C-alpha cells in the first residue's frame, strides 16, 4: 500500500511540474514599460561668476522665538543688542530708568525709620 501512495505522490509532483513549465513558457510577450523614455539634454561645463545674493520673494520664519517680560515697570534707557543677534546667558539686554525706583526705596526707608521711632517711643512710654 505504501508503494501505491508513493506512486500517486510522484505522479502528482510530475503533473505539477509539467503544469508549471507550460504556464511559465507562455507565448505572450511582456507588456512594454508604462513610462516612455525621456530625452536628456547635455551641456559642457563652464566656470562662471555667480551672484552672492539672490533676490526672491518669500517668507522667513524664525527657528525659535523668545518673549522678554519685565518683572517691574519702568522706562527703557538703553538697549544693548541688535534684533536678530545672538545673545549669551547673563548678557545685559536693557537698562531701565532707576530714578523712580530709587525714590520709592527712599520713601520705604523713610517709612521704616518713622515706624522704628514710633515703636521706640511706644516702648519708652510703656
pLDDT in tens, 57-105: 989 888 888 788 888 888 889 999 898 888 899 999 999 999 998 999 9
Q: Which residue has the cell 505539477?
A: 16
What are the grid coordinates assigned to 102, written together?
530709587
- Gap between the Cα atoms of 110 and 118, Å rounded: 12
Q: What is the pTM of this model?
A: 0.38
What Å distances lie between residue 54 and 47, 58, 60, 84, CA to CA? 19, 11, 14, 20
What does the DSSP assignment read for 52-115? S----------S-------SS---EEEE-S-TT----TT---EEE--HHHHHHHHHHHHHHHHH
Instruction: Quick: pLDDT tens for 30-51.
Output: 566 677 788 888 888 899 888 7
C-alpha cell of residue 52:
552672492
Q: Which of 94, 102, 108, 101 is nearest to 73 (CA)?
A: 101
Query: How many whole angstroms from its chain centre is CA 14?
Result: 64
Amino acid at each position: 500500500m505504501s508503494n501505491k501512495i508513493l506512486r500517486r505522490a510522484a505522479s502528482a509532483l510530475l503533473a505539477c511540474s509539467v503544469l508549471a513549465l507550460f504556464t511559465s513558457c507562455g507565448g505572450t510577450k511582456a507588456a512594454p514599460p508604462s513610462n516612455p523614455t525621456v530625452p536628456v539634454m547635455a551641456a559642457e561645463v563652464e566656470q562662471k561668476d555667480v551672484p552672492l545674493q539672490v533676490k526672491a520673494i518669500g517668507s522667513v520664519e524664525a527657528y525659535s522665538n523668545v518673549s522678554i517680560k519685565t518683572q517691574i515697570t519702568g522706562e527703557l534707557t538703553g538697549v544693548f543688542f541688535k534684533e536678530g543677534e545672538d545673545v549669551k546667558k547673563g548678557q545685559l539686554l536693557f537698562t531701565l530708568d532707576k530714578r523712580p525706583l530709587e525714590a520709592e526705596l527712599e520713601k520705604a526707608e523713610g517709612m521704616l525709620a518713622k515706624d522704628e521711632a514710633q515703636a521706640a517711643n511706644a516702648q519708652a512710654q510703656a
